[in-house]
Amino acid sequence: MRTIMTLLAILAWAASVLAQTKGSDKDWNALTDAAKKEAKVVVAGSPDPVMGNEIMPKFKERYGIGVEFLAGRSSEITARVKTERASGIYSVDVYLAGPDTTATALYADKMIDPLRPLLVMPEVAEAAKWKGGKIWFADPEERFAVRPFSSVATLMFINTEHVKPEEMRSAKDLLNARWRGKISTEDPTTTGSGANAAARFYHELGEEFVRKLYLDQKAVRTRDRRQMSDWLARGTHPICLNCREDDVRPLIKEGFKILEIFELADIPGSVNGSPWMLTIANRAPNPKAAQLFANWILSREGLGIYARGYGSVSMRTDLDESYLNPGNLPKKGVKYFDDTDWNWIVTGRHEYREKVWRVLKGK
């Protein structure tokens, strides 16, 4: 009798699971059909080649839905969207914006809708598919902004034909007179990775270090990220504080002697959620296509394509990570500074960035 009761319980549980699975499949198929009727989704994100060359074509191939990709700096796209919204124009469905823009503009200015209830794709909604046992919502309400990545962040790149690894063991090595005029940085006087790195330097090493690095060392500022990578490869500026991995890694494959540095003796390693967080625009013109895209980009296929192409460590548990740079993989038991922590973005980083700007402006 006990055996029979156990079997009946198992059968009841299996039937319940099967019903839920069929129900979720039915909901997913209904969403796919509705999204196809909208025929288009508008995605705003950074101009990286993985998005344009791999993600967008694959999504269109998979679902037959066209993608209009608005590529540009997150801050510039947000400014444009705000202007449009002031005129009653709502043109964007999905944002793949940097953590700063996500927290301080999209979320702060209430430009996005709750994303949590929209994640219905079975392999996305399943907790076991995510490190930590759940999808990582970075915002305080845990509803709006998904953080799909957490990689050990690059602190800088050096061209080892001009700078030996043993010459760059400490942040203070950057202050060696030999490197005056040889260091490039994204312009730290505007929001972006340049200002974020400067804020971290200030937080860890203080005002005097920032003054010496950016002013006395005559760090060369630019807003053209490709220019920095070119300078790094040619050796005209063999130390790059803010080159992007997706710009530099092709150069490494081409044989340029470039080394990625993740930590120094006086600056511990950090993790971040770059290159983007996922949010859904409110009043989206193509809401079902937006929902479909959001689910797919977080799926094994979508996030797998992007993580491999960009070289980021994803939060999914079912992706191969053997191809990644070992330096980008967080080590168990190591406490990292989280450069994408929400509180750091909206308070700490903002505070230190303001301090940096005062230094650079001579105030």
pLDDT exceeds 60 at position 38:
yes
CATH 3.40.50.2020 correct for 2-151+273-330:
no
pLDDT given for residue 11 in this prediction: 47
Angle at 119 between CA 69 and CA 39, to 5 degrees: 40
Q: Which CATH architecture has domain 154-268+343-360?
A: 3-Layer(aba) Sandwich (3.40)
Q: Are 214 and 360 in contact (CB under 8 A)?
A: yes
pLDDT given for residue 15 in this prediction: 43
Whether residue 122 has a cis bond before it, omega within 30° of 0:
no
**Per-domain residue ranges of the chain:** 2-151+273-330, 154-268+343-360
Task: Quick: pLDDT tens for 85-102.
Answer: 999 999 999 999 999 999
Task: Quick: pLDDT tens for 139-173.
Answer: 999 999 999 999 999 999 999 999 999 999 999 99
Residue 236's contacts (CB-CB under 8 Å, 6 or more residues apart) are 182
**What would the mean pLDDT of 43-48 be, rounded to a whole number?**
89
What is the distance between the alpha carbons of residues 227 and 215, in angstroms, rounded to a whole number?
A: 20
- Confidence band, pLDDT 50/70/90 cuts, at residue 205: very high
Task: Quick: pLDDT tens for 276-312.
Answer: 999 999 999 999 999 999 999 999 999 999 999 988 9
**What would the mean pLDDT of 313-327 be, rounded to a whole number?**
94
Mean pLDDT of the chain: 91
What is the distance between the alpha carbons of residues 286 and 265, in angstroms, rounded to a whole number?
A: 50
What is the distance between the alpha carbons of residues 193 and 349, in angstroms, rounded to a whole number?
A: 11
Domains 2-151+273-330 and 154-268+343-360 in one fold: yes
